[in-house]
Amino acid sequence: MNTQNDEAEIDLLEIFYVLKAKIVIIIASMLLVAGLFAVYSLYLTTPVYQSSSRLYILTKSTSITSLADIQMGTSLTQDYKELITSRTVVEQVIENLGLNYTYEDMLGQISIDNPSNTRIIKITVRDNVPEDAKLIVDELTDVARDKISSIMATDAPNVVEYGTVPVYPISPNKKKNVLIGMLLGVFIACAIIVVRFLLDDTVKNADDVEKYLGLNTLTSIPLREEESKKKRRKKKKSSKEGART
C-alpha cells in the first residue's frame, strides 16, 4: 500500500517538473487564447445595452389598506407582468415607434422583474443601440400603463422612474472573457503536455530502464552513431595537427 502511494507521489512530482520545464509554452498558450478571446469580444460581437423603468402597482383605488392580505398584492404583480408582455401591448409599442420587429423578436428583448417584498414592477429592455433601449422601455411603460388602466378598470399605475440611456454594455463582458481565455489557454497547454508525457513510454535514461524494465544499468554508450563518429573525427584531426607541429 505504501509502495503505491510512493509511486503516485513520484508521478505527480514528475508531472510538476515537466510542467515547470514547459512554463514558457504554457504562458504563450495563455496569452494566445486570451488574445483570441479579446479580439472576439472587441470586434466580432455586437454590444448589448439595457435600460430599465419601474412601475408602482398600487394606485389610489387599490391602496394597501383595501387588500385582503399581502398575497393579493402578489397576485396583482403577476397580472401586471402578464399584461405588460401581452401581444396587444408589445405590438402597440412596435407600431408607435415604427420598429422593424416581430412580436417574438421584441418579446425576447423584454424582461419583467418584481423585486422581492415590493409592489414595484421593473421593466427592462435590451437593444444593440443604447438610445433605442431607453426609447423602447419608456414607450413600453406608457403603453402598459394605459392598457392596464383600461383592462383592469382602475387608475393607471404610477411611474417610479423612466429608463436612462445606458453608458456601458451589459455584454460582452470583456474582462471576464479575457480571464476565461487565460484560464482556458493554461488548461489546454497543461492538458496537452501531461497527456504527451503520460503516453510517452520511450526509454531515455538509466532511470527509465530501472523504472520500466526493472533492470540495473552497468554502463552507457552513445545513443547516436553519428555522435561517436564525430568524436573520432575530432580525435584524428587533433592528432594530425599535433603531428604537424
Could you read off the pLDDT of 29-64 as tens digits, one per residue? 999 999 999 999 888 889 999 999 999 876 555 555
| CATH class held by domain 49-161 | alpha beta
pLDDT in tens, 150-174: 887 777 888 999 999 999 999 888 8
Most distant CA atoms of the chain, gap in Å: 121
pTM: 0.64
> Are 48 and 169 a contacting pair, CB within 8 Å?
yes
* CA gap 108, 198 in Å, rounded: 49
- What are the structural domain ranges in the chain? 1-45+172-200, 49-161, 201-245
Locus of grid cell 532511470:
207
pLDDT in tens, 74-116: 667 778 888 999 999 999 999 999 999 999 999 999 999 988 7
